[in-house]
Amino acid sequence: MIYFDYAATTPVDNRVLNAMIPYFRESYGNPSSIHRYGQKAETAVDDAREKVADVLHCRPEEIIFTSCGSESDNLALRGSALARRKTSGEKWILTARNEHHAVSRTAEQLEKEFGFLLEWLDLDEHGAVSPASLSKAIRSDTALASVMYANNEIGTINPIAELAAVARSSNVVFHTDAVQAAAYLDVNVEILGVNLMSLGGHKFYGPKGVGALYVRKGTKLMPHLTGGGQEFGLRAGTQNVPYIVGFAEALRLAAEEREARTAHVRPLRDQIVGRVLEGISDSKLTGHPENRLPNHASFVFKDVDGNLLLQMLDSAGFACSSGSACKTGNPEPSEVITSLGYSRDWALGSLRVTLGVDSTPAHVELFLKTLPGLVEKARSLNQR
């Protein structure tokens, strides 16, 4: 099997795994315990928090460890919306329909169950939110705006620093889901200017089951989990020490090796995009043609069943995706794809190909020789 689904998850880097292993058996203490076992575990969590803060250019106390990127999104949206309404009465939430469901469905729940008002931001033809569209949507009682750094399904990168500046000028809390972006883009929060930023470890060669939320000092959040007061009272529960250690090491390596990793995947991605668009009829690139993640190629093929194509690719030895891993197997077109304005005969035929450190030119060449025939076969089966 050749793996082309790095946007869904990545294998754990051996260096990350080696950093984690001692905290499963040797240094297994609870960070909240007073004895030396606990002190050693607490030191590991503190060191990891400092390591993450170094990459983000923030204070260690602005880092909250969570179980995943989705939990970070939930804490950011629900926590900040409830806090803003309690302290100053704001009730409007702004986000886009092509956000990860951890954001869009949380926003919908806040509207339906908690009495907030929700407005969907306008998107351009590439699925990006412009500063003008955000500025147009902000009103005097806007509590929160959430726009992802880079889209997981179509790879488009949003102008986060400019969007955050628009929000800041109107005293609106600004959150970005950077779960997909952190593997390849700069997550310096001083440059980005965000109030809140979500990260997930398994997108950059760390373990699944651990994430982080950056919370700029002064940004109020309603606690997410109540209990023992861990994570500065915002997320109670015994810290997952080995996973936190792994998350921090993976993020450090992602930042340190960003240029080399980008230089490895970008030409392979460009080769895929060029050859697919040239060699397969009725094919279109989804997302921005240039301002996109360097490892990310995504397409729609007219009159193709995307799930059938994925099964055929799997049988041929390629692991790809139709978009978010959370949507695989769904016979309905992705909301991200439909938000771009594609009709159903196009939107159902989506394919996402994402590259990583183990991708090779030989893998790409084999894929490009195989894909056209499979698309043609899937199209003929769909038209029967």
pLDDT of 384 reads: 67
Do 285 and 235 belong to one domain? no
> Mean pLDDT throughout 58-67?
98
Do 227 and 182 belong to one domain? yes
List 158's β-bridge partners, or say none.
none
CB neighbourhood size of 371 (10 A): 26
Do 232 and 304 belong to one domain? no
Amino acid at 308: L
Domain limits for position 210: 14-256
> Mean pLDDT throughout 97-122?
97
Do 74 and 220 belong to one domain? yes
Residue-averaged pLDDT of the chain:
96
pLDDT of 309 reads: 96
Check which CATH number belongs to the domain holding 196 and give it: 3.40.640.10
| 323 or 101, higher pLDDT | 101
Do 294 and 233 belong to one domain? no
pLDDT of 332 reads: 81
pLDDT of 324 reads: 56
326 a catalytic residue: yes
Do 373 and 251 belong to one domain? no
Task: Pick the last residue of a domain from 256, 291, 324.
Answer: 256
Scanning the structure block, which residue is given the tokens 């909240």?
32
pLDDT of 333 reads: 85
Beta strands of the chain (E only): which ranges?
Answer: 2-3, 63-66, 92-95, 117-120, 142-146, 173-177, 196-200, 211-215, 283-285, 296-301, 318-319, 350-354
Number of structural domains found in the chain: 2
Instruction: Name the packing angle between helices 361-382 and 258-279 (round to 10°).
Output: 40
Check which CATH number belongs to the domain holding 293 and give it: 3.90.1150.10
Do 365 and 265 belong to one domain? yes
Task: Pick the last residue of a domain from 237, 256, 275.
Answer: 256
Are 76 and 212 a contacting pair, CB within 8 Å?
Answer: no
pLDDT of 224 reads: 86
Do 68 and 118 belong to one domain? yes
Do 234 and 295 belong to one domain? no
The DSSP symbol for 146 reads E
pLDDT at 145 > cutoff 80: yes
pLDDT, tens digit, for every residue of 310-344? 999 999 999 999 865 555 555 688 889 999 999 99
Question: What contacts 160, CB < 8 A, 6 or more positions away?
Answer: 147, 149, 176, 192, 193, 194
pLDDT at 176 > cutoff 80: yes
Task: Pick the last residue of a domain from 239, 256, 273.
Answer: 256
Scanning the structure block, which residue is given the tokens 């990459």?
55
pLDDT of 382 reads: 81
Do 265 and 247 belong to one domain? no
C-alpha of 384 from chain center: 38
> Mean pLDDT throughout 32-61?
97
Do 163 and 270 belong to one domain? no
Do 83 and 22 belong to one domain? yes
Give, in order, the Cα–Cα distances in Å from 29 to each of 37, 39, 43, 236, 238. Answer: 5, 8, 11, 17, 10
* Ranges of H-type helices in 232-283: 241-256, 258-279
